[in-house]
Amino acid sequence: MTSSIRVDRDIPMTMRDGVTLRADVYRPDDGEKHPAIVVRTPYNKVLSGNSDYLSAVHAAFAGYAMVIQDTRGRFASEGEFIPMMPEGQDGYDTIEGVAAEPWCDGNVGMVGSSYLGRVQWQAAMEAPPHLKAIAPSIITAGPLSDTRMSGVVDLEQSISWFGAMAIDMIEKMKKQGRDVTGMREMVTRALLNIDEVCNYLPLKDIPHFKFEGLSEGFATRIGDAALAGLKSEEDLYWSYEKVMVPCFHSGGWYDLFSGSLFKNFLNMREKGGTQIAREGQYLLSGPWAHGANLPAFVGDLHFGPTASGVAGFVMERHIAFFNKYLRGIESKYMVPVRYFVMGRNRWKSADTWPLPQTEWQRFFLHSNGRANSTAGDGLLSRDESGSEPPDIFVYDPRFPVPTRGGKNLPAGSLVPGPLDQTHIEKRSDVLCYTTPELQEEIEVTGPLTLHLFAATSVKDTDFTVKLVDVYPDGSAYNVAEGCIRARYRKSVLQPELVNPGEVYEYSIDMAATSIVFGRDHRIRIDISSSNFPRIDRNMNTGNPFGEDSEGVPAIQTIHHHADYASYIDLPVIPANK
């Protein structure tokens, strides 16, 4: 530990094409060489050093030089900002440049959340010689988000993210002498009225970003252009075999990219480019949503005194990780899997994922054909389906089911995390399947998948699902969620419209969770066809994304009899294990 630190502002670093990027460096003020941790951010380096995952000051006092750099074309850095594109080469050049600094001992790691995690993967795939470890948090498992992998678009997240990015893009264009008349006003209006923008039709003509210099990036962000250039299933994921270094993956159960957290961990264990990479994989998941702050209070629920990032020693675990791979120092904090069990509100550790003691239990959907809303007769049980009529509801894109809690950003009217779903569950276009009151608590820890047999009256539509914890007082809090666009049921790379009236099987990925459903609680599955504005509305026409000004209603039929048994696989952890 050092007793004092120094901060050097706007340190220039020249990339291979001559463009200068600038960084702030937080480091021990002792004249010695230290290992470095690089953060590369499009969100302004001045604002990016205070993450609950690992702050600049904490790292510096622990004996590291933390280098926080504005990415190309952002804030203090030169060049043109093209989201996602040149980050690998810039990351390589930055890491090698940092390693050559007189205050660095040649050992370099990376840390950061969301986009700051994405740039780590892109840099690591370039295999810079001095990169020894990365610690990406709350980030995707490849070019596409978890939601986009199911065919739908993260509408609210995409609009709010691109709007925030556009402000600095406009300032850069203005300094270049380009005409930016009306741009800032329209983008600001979009950020202040996210719900209004999400409701605009057709989506491809949203006026707030219809400006030269913005429209191209926005179209790539939310349209089918995001799929361009992806030719195989392998293109959907990072090139794990090119990553030669250990990784510390961290995130939260209510994060946008919670499913990717585990995909990255497992894929690196299997495919990492070196033995040290395959063996040096660590994972941490708390009860948090998307963001750099890790509170104990998420949505409507408080998860107890140990739930915060501070109480969970998240920074200490990051330092322990870097101590191991940048300094060769072992630590008690180094466990392969660390996860927070909601409901029991405590941390647990494991060596593998899924947990070896997992007992997969199928919970089947049942009803007498009237599962609409919580006033209906929907039942969820271990009993296999018999001879039962299907459930039917109408999805009208003019009146979508509103997003309430879950894996979204805190933008517009949306709040992420667990929120009471009882108002949503009164709708006739929400099917509710609920267990009787539990006689004993049930721990569910692991990945979740809903196997759904369904038909629709249109050529394309969506199906959405939520796993819900129903409290004894009737309040119902969302635990996990998933969705699928029918045309992408086989793969996001193989769109295929459905035949109206034909029954198809849909496997809906719901990422993962860890929760104890308490005694006298009930477990519920909610099924519908929209979750707006978190995801875009399917207009049910079969037309390409963003073209429709009007949609058509869809009659949805959910089957659950012996031939078409719909069920959810729950990873149950036995109480005695």
Catalytic residue, candidates 290, 318, 521, 560: 290
How far apart CA 154 and CA 148 sit, in angstroms, is 7
Contacts of 59 (CB under 8 A, 6+ apart): 26, 37, 66, 111, 319
Task: List, in sequence order, the alpha helices (H) in 248-313.
Answer: 258-271, 275-279
How far apart CA 23 and CA 65 sit, in angstroms, is 12
Please report the sign of the dihedral spanned by the C-alpha atoms of residue 257, residue 448, residue 343, residue 414. positive
Q: How far is CA 154 from CA 167, 399, 409, 525, 535, in A?
A: 20, 18, 10, 22, 5
Write phi, then psi, for 280 (nearest 5 degrees): -100, 50
Which of these, 259, 243, 242, 239, lies nearest to 251 by C-alpha position? 259
**123-136 b/e with 16+ CB inside 10 Å = b?**
bbbbebebbbbbbb
Which of these, 263, 512, 560, 531, lies nearest to 406 by C-alpha position? 531
Contact 477, 468 (CB under 8 A): yes
Please report the sign of the dihedral spanned by the C-alpha atoms of residue 111, residue 116, residue 118, residue 123. negative
- Which three-class secondary structure state does DSSP give residue 389? coil
How far apart CA 362 and CA 568 sit, in angstroms, is 6
How far apart CA 201 and CA 539 sit, in angstroms, is 10
- Annotation says 114 is catalytic: yes
How far apart CA 460 and CA 451 sit, in angstroms, is 18
Which value, in Å, is the radius of gyration of the alpha carbons in the chain? 24
Identify residue 77 by its one-letter amino acid code. Answer: S
Catalytic residue, candidates 255, 391, 526, 536: 255
DSSP 13: E
| Token pair in block for residue 57 | 């000051």
Contact 340, 513 (CB under 8 A): no
| Token pair in block for residue 82 | 């093209």
Token pair 């929120």: residue: 419
- Annotation says 290 is catalytic: yes
Q: How many CB atoms lie within 10 A of CB 298?
A: 25
Catalytic residue, candidates 48, 55, 113, 114: 114
How far apart CA 506 and CA 482 sit, in angstroms, is 11
**35-63 b/e with 16+ CB inside 10 Å = b?**
bbbbbbbbbebeebbebbbbbbebbbbbb
**DSSP3 helix / strand / coil % (the chain, rounded to 5):** 25, 30, 45
Q: Which residues are catalytic?
A: 114, 255, 290
